[in-house]
Amino acid sequence: MSLLEELLAATPVLTDGAWGTQLQARGLTPGECPDQWNLSRPAEVEQVARAYVEAGSRVILSNTFGSNRVALAGHGLAGQAAEINRAGAAISRRAAAGRAKVFASIGPSGKLLMSGETTEEELRAAFSEQARALAEGGADALVVETMSDLAEAKIALEAAKSTGLPVVACMVFDTGRNKDRTMMGATPEQAAGELAACGADVVGANCGVGIESYIAICRRLKAATGRPIWIKANAGLPELVDGKTVWKMTPEAFAGFVPQLIQAGASFIGGCCGTSPEFIRAVAGVIGC
């Protein structure tokens, strides 16, 4: 049985929540590169991964969201890309300890192809290097996530596919009156169609403006493709309270939307910005695992 068949035998599959805020709680400072902690503070990174496994995640990601060399260059760390990715995948694998699968994270470059800030060749090289290193580090699958530009998503997806691992590809829908487009204007139907045609084994949506807005997005993705759907939504939008950014949505309120997501066809469910192991535990309670 393939990895995906094995997981999808019992749906929905619970994934994980946010990592950045969990690392901040352990001392990561604003502006510091979270991914570098895979080398400098591996124990803390492993604690975050383990917290999700203990909360009930059957799939955890990795602390490699910004570990492509284009994004790392902003921190002067491009030369350590392979090492950071290998370490990130290995940390998640240790934390999973056979109780969860590791779907290693590949985030965007942070540069726009269209305005010439980066090139297709540069992106292809960066994502290929990252995908290879994540596979070497022991990832079970790869997740191309938080993409705003289909062109970049497809380059990352092709690079990820070349490892032979299953690949999830998901985008952010947060633009337009109905918050149902990517930044570059793609609809869920376009995204699902093009990502599936490029070989994505699972397609989906993550981040965005809040879990309630992803119910309709999920339904539209599901209607547009036969592939399983992956949804990792934000806990709403943050607010500023006494100079600190806080998400006011509670784990229970977040989990309250999960039945609708399941009904809308989501096969993989987790959280993005503003979520924590408590949110995953609350979702676990709702889906009964």
Partner 1 sequence: MPELWKLHDAILNGDAKTAVAVTQEALAENVSPLELVQKYMVPAMDQVGQRFECEEYFVPELLLAARAMKGSLALIRPLLVASGAEPVGRVAIGTVKGDLHDIGKNLVSAMLEGGGFEVIDLGADVSPEKFVNAVKERGAKIVALSALLTVTMGSMKNTIQALKDAGLREGVKVMVGGAPVTEQFAQEIGADGYSENASSAVALARKLAAA
- The least CB distance from residue 162 to partner 1, in Å, is 26
Could you tell me which of 180, 176, 241, 230 has the C-alpha nearest to residue 200?
A: 230
- The least CB distance from residue 179 to partner 1, in Å, is 11
**Cβ proximity to partner 1, 95 vs 172, nearer residue:** 172
- The least CB distance from residue 177 to partner 1, in Å, is 6
**Cβ proximity to partner 1, 167 vs 233, nearer residue:** 233
Instruction: Give dist(CA 52, CA 48) in Å, integer.
Output: 7
Q: Which residues bind partner 1 (CB under 8 A)?
A: 20-21, 24, 29-31, 71, 74-75, 110-112, 114-115, 117, 148, 174-177, 181, 183-185, 237-240, 243-245, 273
- The least CB distance from residue 238 to partner 1, in Å, is 5
**Cβ proximity to partner 1, 238 vs 265, nearer residue:** 238
For residue 12, cis peptide bond before it (omega within 30 degrees of 0): yes
DSSP codes, 83-114: HHHHHHHHHHHHHHTTSSEEEEEE---SS-TT
- The least CB distance from residue 119 to partner 1, in Å, is 15
Neighbour-count burial for 177-196, b at 16+ CB within 10 Å, e otherwise? eeebbbebebbbeebbbbbb
Residue 122 CB burial class (10 angstroms; 0-12, 13-18, ≥19): middle
**Cβ proximity to partner 1, 99 vs 248, nearer residue:** 248
**Cβ proximity to partner 1, 107 vs 251, nearer residue:** 107
DSSP codes, 42-67: HHHHHHHHHHHHHHT-SEE--S-TT-
